């Protein structure tokens, strides 16, 4: 099955890299998204250069995040929250380089991963369950990135439907073999009327399940059309045999 493409939107609200006025220049921003049974775990790692006059850093975290932990230079820090902005106080230091990490969870109902970029970034990468979801260079402050988290679930459901279809087809084969063995005392063809009716009923069940999954948006349009056409053709062949 061809993989469903992931829709990624990058909206830059400011096209200028205001290096001279920004409190921090981020050289590398890595975000790791992992799907869990209850939602998504997020880990962000930030490396950059800090203006020596700054006494605080701001981070953006999207709505509904829980269990938020922010560390700066390896030390867990307290934060003040205002909307989606988390402000952390930092101690004066002679070191200009700074590293920060942020971990949190998002609920299962989350459809998109979103990030408001507060500082200029040379390179940012977002991975999702080990695969690169997006990667961009030279984003200005006040940029905005958004990527769909729904695709993985849709693909997983699609694979589950294929497995269900395979099991139903295996069941058809088993029933045919059983009925053929049961009637070995009589010289009959393999596909008797009883077998064809059973096969038709199972194929109808499978087609109804495919329709149900598609209405619930659990499989893509491409998968829906492929599976529907495949098993509809088989059902038509069975009905032709029953009519003949």
User: What are the residue ranges spanned by the domains of the chain?
Assistant: 8-149, 153-243
Split at pLDDT 50, 70, 90, the class of 15 is very low
Using the predicted structure, report yes or no on whether residue 17 has a pLDDT greater than 50: no
Contacts of 175 (CB under 8 A, 6+ apart): 195, 198, 199, 202
Split at pLDDT 50, 70, 90, the class of 87 is very high
User: Which strand (E) or helix (H) includes residue 199?
Assistant: helix 193-215
User: Which strand (E) or helix (H) includes residue 85?
Assistant: strand 85-89
**What pLDDT does residue 151 have?**
58
Residue labelled with tokens 């009637």: 183
Q: What are phi and psi of 19, to 5 degrees?
A: -60, -35
Distances (CA, A) of 19 to 49, 96, 177, 244: 11, 15, 74, 80
Percentage, residues of the chain above pLDDT 70: 79
159/118 Cα distance (integer angstroms):
39
- Higher confidence at residue 220 or residue 28? 28
The CA-CA-CA angle for residues 84, 88, 90, to 5°, reads 160
196/181 Cα distance (integer angstroms):
16
Q: What is the pLDDT of residues 181-218, one digit of tens each?
A: 666 555 545 678 888 888 888 888 888 888 888 888 87
- Higher confidence at residue 176 or residue 46? 46
191/201 Cα distance (integer angstroms):
14
52, 147 contact by CB (below 8 A): no
**What pLDDT does residue 42 have?**
96
What's the topology of domain 8-149?
Answer: Immunoglobulin-like (2.60.40)
Q: What is the pLDDT of residues 33-77, one digit of tens each?
A: 999 988 999 999 999 998 777 888 999 999 999 999 999 988 999
**What pLDDT does residue 184 have?**
57
> Of the segments 45-59, 110-124, 151-165, which one has the largest average pLDDT value?
110-124
Contacts of 50 (CB under 8 A, 6+ apart): 23, 24, 57, 90, 96, 97, 98
**What pLDDT does residue 94 have?**
61
Mean pLDDT of all residues in 87-115: 87
220/244 Cα distance (integer angstroms):
36
109/218 Cα distance (integer angstroms):
14
How many angstroms separate the first and last alpha carbons of the chain?
35
* pTM score: 0.55
Mean pLDDT of all residues in 9-29: 58
Average pLDDT of the residues of the chain: 80
**What pLDDT does residue 196 have?**
82
**What pLDDT does residue 156 have?**
47
């Amino acid at each position: 099955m061809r993989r469903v493409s992931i829709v990624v939107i990058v909206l830059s609200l400011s096209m200028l890299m205001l290096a001279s006025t920004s409190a921090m220049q981020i050289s590398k921003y890595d975000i790791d998204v992992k799907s869990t049974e209850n939602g998504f775990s997020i880990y962000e790692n930030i490396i950059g250069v800090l203006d020596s006059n700054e006494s605080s850093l701001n981070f953006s975290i999207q709505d509904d995040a829980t269990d938020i932990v922010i560390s700066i230079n390896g030390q867990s820090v307290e934060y003040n929250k205002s909307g989606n902005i988390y402000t952390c106080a930092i101690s004066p230091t002679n070191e200009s380089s700074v590293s920060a990490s942020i971990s949190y969870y998002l609920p299962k109902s989350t459809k998109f991963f979103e990030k408001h970029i507060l500082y200029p970034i040379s390179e940012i990468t977002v991975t999702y369950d080990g695969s690169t979801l997006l990667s961009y260079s030279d984003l200005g402050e006040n940029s905005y990135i958004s990527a769909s988290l729904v695709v993985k679930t849709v693909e997983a459901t699609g694979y589950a439907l294929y497995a269900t279809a395979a099991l139903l087809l295996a069941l058809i084969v088993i029933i045919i073999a059983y009925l053929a063995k049961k009637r070995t005392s009589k010289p009959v063809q393999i596909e008797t009327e009883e077998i064809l009716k059973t096969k038709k009923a199972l194929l109808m069940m499978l087609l109804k399940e495919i329709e149900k999954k598609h209405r619930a948006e659990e499989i893509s349009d491409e998968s829906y059309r492929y599976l529907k056409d495949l098993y509809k053709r088989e059902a038509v062949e069975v009905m032709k045999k029953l009519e003949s």
